[in-house]
A and B are shown apart, each in its own frame.
Chain A
Amino acid sequence: MLRVFLILAAVAGIAAAGWLVWDRLRAPIATPIADFSAPFVFGRFSVPPDNPLTQEAFALGRHLFYDPMLSGNNQVSCATCHVQALGFTDGRAKSPSLSGGELDFSSMSLANLLWGQERFFWDGRATSLEMQALMPIQHPDEMGQDIDDLMAELRASGTYRKMFRRAYGEVSPENTANALATFMRMLISADSKYDKYLRGEVRLTAQEEHGRKLFMAHPDTKISLRGGNCIDCHSQFLTSGFRDALDGFSNNGLDPDESLPDGLMAVTGNPAHKGFFKVPTLRNIAVTAPYMHDGRFETLEDVMAHYNDGIVVSDTLSPLILEADNAPEAGQGTVGLRMTSEEMKAIIAFLHTLTDDTFLANPLFSNPFDGGS
């Protein structure tokens, strides 16, 4: 009897060990994400062939995104500065720096990153999301993490070893970046009132529709066409900057030549790019205050006031901004759109139709350590 039991136990033990070895040695079993949808008006998108969208990569990326283990002091996660309810911004002009003080730029919102510019950060210094993902982690003032130390921490966790194995294979900086990029790519916002309007499901109010028309028009006093000129930088459906080449970067008249920051010029070395910054998506813009790369404007009203009569002229200022004026007679010392207050309110009403409450509360994008899975 004892002998039978021992034999059975030995067989069970060998089977368990064999399964464990097999589970560790076999190739990742990642499941392609096949069923996500996006409005056709968003246009084409591409995913790097060496980092396909998979369920396992998304799950891993989501855990990493919310895990303070990714920072040197284990207190800062990506989500510290990218809060879902705020369109993945942090509500501050500039996020606090680890060494005290504040960072150079405002936290960028994360939505629909599959479309629009293929450069990331306000100055476009990253040319892919995979490249972008590891930069804040290692930045001494952002998350201050040594990448080798992080790999050691992740390898020490059985949960992460298993998640990496299923998604990619090994725990590595490259796969960490791949997983975070996958999570960010899947942050798709396509259920705002504007999307429903584009799908023919709802009507805009008269004020929102007035704002939409102004958003989409470059003013032309010669034919009495009034416009808010937004579309010259923010594409009509995505509302992000343009995808081609460096079309999605612009100088929107915030500073004079004497104090104009380098912006894109720091990356390209081209003086014609001085003061150019990434044109952000306007999706969820009503919840992502404060505004601009340095968070200088607290409200959408402040932003409209800037474009209406607060443009600061510099050499690289967009001629489309400098030229756009709704008043036929020459201005009196100010540069801007010179719209009426009703027109500005209408544009702001339209901007509110870009808020996507489904996206902002989607449980798939939430913190998996808060009882989620």
Chain B
Amino acid sequence: MRRVLGILAIAVVIIGWFALSPGQKKSTPVTLTFHAEMGGEPLVYDQFVYDNPGGAGQFRVRDFRFYLSNLSFGQGDQTFAEPNSYHLLRFDNADKTHSITLPEVPLASIDTVRFLIGVDPAANTSIEVRGDLDPNSQMAWNWEVGYKFVVFEGALQVGQEVSPLVYHVGFSENAREVAFSLPADVLTEANGQIHLTVDPAKLFDGSARIDMQTLPSVKFNRTDAEILANNYAAMITPAF
């Protein structure tokens, strides 16, 4: 009897050890923080402090915002896609940053991050409210056209002349995927914090360099919209 009890006690301890020990980590907290910067400094609104990338004069920014959607994380061949993943990123705050926090990404670790600048075609042609998509918001063109993906508004000053700048880029074909790998240990060392830089100037200075005086607005012309989309595809870079 005593021997049986002894064996039982040992069995309980062993089973308890396996049941309660901190085994493989089941989830990872992640915060993506986007820093809006131009010329390596936090974005400045409402002042003529930036040079026209492709021509004369200085410009100021009144509004800059964009949709980031379909955020997903990968570890080896496992992936996790955030449900209803539609984020409107705006930077009109003290830090000129925007953070997206996922307290529990159900992966043991993360080595790749993917998302779209823009909105996927199914959501873009819907009037359903989900995530930050809102058909009554400033980002809605209207329910027949879809959403603006990237909005940049301001003014250009050349000499004494001040003229408006309006860049509204949408259309489903202009969503651009951003994907990058996380170096090993970045996440654990930074406690789940991933920092990224968003450079609005890249809209006008990428595969095409744009003179804001020649092209002061982009709205529904699909050729112009595509040029800006190819440029903004490179506006977000991870900062490790």
Contacts and interface: CB of A to CB of B under 8 A. Distances in A.
Interface stretch (A48-56, A141-149, A229-237, A339-347): A229-237
Nearest to B62: A319
Nearest to A248: B138
Given A231-B142, A323-B217, A244 B129 contact: no
Given A319-B62, A322-B164, A236 B134 contact: no
A272 B92 CA distance: 12
Nearest to B155: A319
Nearest to A116: B136
A216 B141 CA distance: 8
B137 A243 contact: yes
Given A235-B137, A236-B135, A319-B165, A272 B45 contact: yes
A76 to B, nearest CB: 34
B166 interface: yes
Interface string A210-252: 0000001110101101000001100111101011110100000
A222 B221 contact: yes
B129 A323 contact: no
Interface in B96-139: 127, 129, 134-138
A319 B220 contact: no
Interface string B144-157: 10000000011100
A43 B166 contact: no
A44 B133 CA distance: 11
B35 interface: no
Nearest to B142: A216
Among B46, B88, B138, the most chain A Cβ lie within 10 Å of the Cβ of B138
B195 interface: no
Contacts of B92: 245
Contact of B154 (A220, A242, A319): A319
A267 interface: no
Given A222-B224, A223-B220, A319-B164, A242 B142 contact: no
A41 interface: yes
A247 B164 contact: no
Chain B interface residue bracket vs A = 20 to 34
Contacts of B137: 235, 242-244, 247
B136 A243 contact: yes
A223 B138 CA distance: 22
A237 B137 CA distance: 10
A202 to B, nearest CB: 18
Interface in A193-217: 216-217
Contacts of B134: 43-44, 243-244
A238 B136 contact: yes
Nearest to A242: B138
A44 B62 contact: no
A225 B220 contact: yes
A218 B219 contact: yes
Given A220-B220, A223-B220, A272-B46, A42 B136 contact: yes
Interface in B141-196: 141-144, 153-155, 164-166, 168
B138 A244 contact: yes
Contact of A43 (B62, B136, B217): B136
Contacts of B166: 319-320, 323
A115 interface: yes
Contact of B136 (A216, A236, A245): A236
Nearest to B133: A43
Contacts of B135: 41, 43, 235-237
B236 interface: no
Interface of B: 45-46, 62, 88, 90, 92, 127, 129, 134-138, 140-144, 153-155, 164-166, 168, 216-217, 219-221, 224
Given A42-B136, A237-B135, 10 more contacts: A43-B134, A43-B135, A216-B144, A218-B168, A223-B221, A240-B136, A247-B138, A271-B46, A320-B164, A323-B217
24 contacts: A41-B127, A41-B136, A43-B129, A216-B142, A217-B142, A218-B168, A220-B217, A222-B219, A223-B220, A232-B138, A236-B140, A238-B136, A243-B134, A243-B136, A244-B137, A272-B62, A319-B153, A319-B164, A320-B164, A320-B166, A323-B164, A323-B166, A323-B216, A323-B217
